Structure formats: structure tokens, C-alpha cells
Amino acid sequence: MKKLILVSFILMILSTFLNAQDKKTTPFKITYPAECKLLMGNELIEPFYISTQPITNRAYIIYINCLKKCYQDYPEQWYQAWPETGTINGETDYNDCNNFVELVNTSSPLIKEYMFNPNYIDYPVIGIDWMQAYRFCKWLSDRYNEYKLMQKDFLTKDVYASNENCFTLESYLASQYERSGNKDFEDKITGIYGIKWQHHFVTPSFRLPTQMESKLAAYSKITLDALKPYPLPVFLKPWECLKVKGNKLIITDCNSETNQEFAFSSINSKLPTDKISEWFLDTFLENKGNSVLSVFAELGQNQLNYEEQSQIGKDSIGNVRYIILSEKNKTPLIISSKPLLPENNYNNRNCIFRYVVNSVNED
């Protein structure tokens, strides 16, 4: 009888342990940017969060400045983010790229009189091509997840991060990122140290919305009022590098000890009057209304195996070959990171853009 009781007790303990393995093993819950709203999707579109505001001139200048700091050995990385893919005197000269004043002065009136105008610094950015918008969304999601980790003290801000040591979510989760924080999370069930995907703390990559997702947002009365000011997302504040002083815009190197400043005189210009469109993930695709995975497949970004890809090392600028799009069977659902589009599909730049992020089921 005692043996039976002992066996029953052991089985009860084992059952409790196994059930604990199946349940959520983390005190965290995924949180999404405050400016995003949840939409439940439809038979083709999974639930997603969509930004209620477009990307602004201020946010995009912060982006350029961060790329400039992080990739000092690879100036093409931030120069290719320059609006209208500007060139200096008709040709690319990376030796002159460190001079913001020179770049602004040789850019179009849209850049000089709108993007860098203190009066319009918080208005939607215009003059960005599709690929630039696509890359910005990925960078923005890295900053959001980095911000969340810093808020919990799992990461400290690294003012000297450069090249392959710049933070990306994928390299961090694959244990290919060396920076740490003042605290270290320990999973009490598995004994794993450090934040991993299964802890549901970080979000998937931000991306451009599909046209169907934009229509679903419009049905829910989430539309963009193009040319008006919008606040900077709170999670970008640690990288803030702009100040408006009177009629001048001051750009400081947000990670520099010397805080070198660039000043641009305000120009009394009018807002752009041309018709403004919005960039979508499937802007250049013939088939509209497909699922997000189908859209990415048409862009040449196929689904990959996470266990295999996470073992491949990052490149010289800290990137891996994939991005995390969502979750499937408690594992990151990943796709190849580089879209393929005909070169002539980058010409239209009179567009604003925003981002979406897939909602992860945490049940």
C-alpha cells in the first residue's frame, strides 16, 4: 500500500512538471509599440498590429545618424539610406559622406526645404523609395526590441557599438551578440539564461503593410492624415539626435562623446503639393490580396528553417540571413532577409509609409 502511495505521489509530481513545461514559462508578455492598434485579420491575414502614424522626418534622420555611427567602416550602409539616394555632384563619394551639410545642400528642394526644415521635422518623411522604407522598418524593430531589453536592464546602451557589434534581434537571439546588461534573466523551469524567443519578450520584425492589411485598417477607421506633425515614438528617445533652436535644426551624434553639431537654417517653404501615396509590401506585385507569406514568397523571400539558419554566423555588419516574421509551433517563423525587385521599381518616391508587426499567439 505504501509503495502504491509512493508511486502515485511520484506520478503526480511528474505530471505537474510536464504540465509546467507545456505552460508559459516566463513572467513576460509581448508588448507592442503604443502607437500600434491590433487588427484581427481575416481568412488570409493573421492578426497584426499596425502603426496609426507614418514615419516622420525626425525618425528617419535619427535612422541615418545611427547608421552613420554604427557603420563607420561601411559608409555605403548609411549612404544608401539617404533620401532619393542622393549623390554628391552627380557621383557617389563616400569620403564626403560624413558631411551632412554637403549632402543636404546637394539634395533636391524636397530634402533641403522639407525634410531638414525645423518647421516640418515631425511631418511624414517623403522621398524614400520602397527598399529604403523596407530597410527602415527592420531597423526600427531592432531599436524597439533593444529598447525593451534596456528598459529591463537586460542590455546597457553601448555608445561604441559598430559594424558587426551593432544590435539586431536575430543575432541577439542566436547568441551571436556579446553585449549584456546589469541583470540576467534566468528561466526557472528550463534553467536557460538570457532572453530567448520562447520567453515571449521580444516582437517579430516590423515590416511594410500589405494593401489588404491597409484596407482592413481603413475599415477600422485607422487611416493616415498625411501632412501633419506626429510625435516621436517613445522607444526611439534613447537615439534622439535632433534639437530645434529658433530657426535652426541641430543634429548631434547621439553616441558621440564630442557631440559634434550641424546646423541648418530654416527655409520658409511650403508643404509638398504633389499627390502622395503610401508604400505597401506588395506595391509592385501583380497579385493583390494574398497572405503575407505569399507576398514575401513573390518577393523571393521564402520560409527557412530556424534551427539551421540560427547556427550560421552573422556578417561583417551584424546581420544574419533571415528575419523573424512570426511564430509557428512555438518556434520563430523566419524568411530570407533580402527582397528581390526589378531596379525600375524604386523610382516612385512620392510616398509616405508606416509599419506593421505580426501578432504572436501566446496561449
Surface-to-core class of residue 45, CB atoms within 10 Å of its CB (0-12 exposed, 13-18 middle, 19+ buried): buried
| Highest mean pLDDT, choosing among 131-145, 186-200, 335-349 | 131-145
Looking at residues 259-284, what average pLDDT do you find? 74
Rounded Cα distance, 252 and 65, in Å: 8
pLDDT in tens, 85-127: 644 344 455 555 556 777 777 778 888 888 888 889 999 999 8
DSSP assignment letter at 35? T
| Total residues found in the chain within this entry | 363
24 pLDDT higher than 90: no
311 pLDDT higher than 60: yes
Please tell me the least confidently modeled range out of 60-69, 251-260, 320-329: 251-260
More confident of the two residues 36 and 90: 36
Q: Which three cell numbers stand for residue 340?
A: 528581390
258 pLDDT higher than 90: no
Q: Average model confidence (pLDDT) for the chain?
A: 81
Angle ∠(59,302,170) on CA atoms, nearest 5 = 50
pTM: 0.87
Rounded Cα distance, 279 and 348, in Å: 10
Give residue 225's pLDDT band: very low, low, confident or very high (50, 70, 90). Answer: confident
The pLDDT, as a whole number, for residue 86 is: 43
Please tell me the least confidently modeled range out of 47-56, 72-81, 90-99, 226-235: 90-99
More confident of the two residues 341 and 209: 209
19 pLDDT higher than 50: no
The pLDDT, as a whole number, for residue 333 is: 94
Give residue 60's pLDDT band: very low, low, confident or very high (50, 70, 90). Answer: very high
The pLDDT, as a whole number, for residue 61 is: 93
317 pLDDT higher than 90: no
3 pLDDT higher than 80: no
What are the C-alpha distances in Å from 151 to residues 33, 235, 326? 14, 10, 23
Residue from 311, 317, 309, 356 nearest 333 by CA: 309
The pLDDT, as a whole number, for residue 285 is: 87
Rounded Cα distance, 343 and 358, in Å: 28
52 pLDDT higher than 50: yes
Side by side, which strands form the sheet with 303-304? Answer: 303-304, 331-336, 322-328
17 pLDDT higher than 50: no
Domain ranges of the chain: 26-358
The pLDDT, as a whole number, for residue 88 is: 38
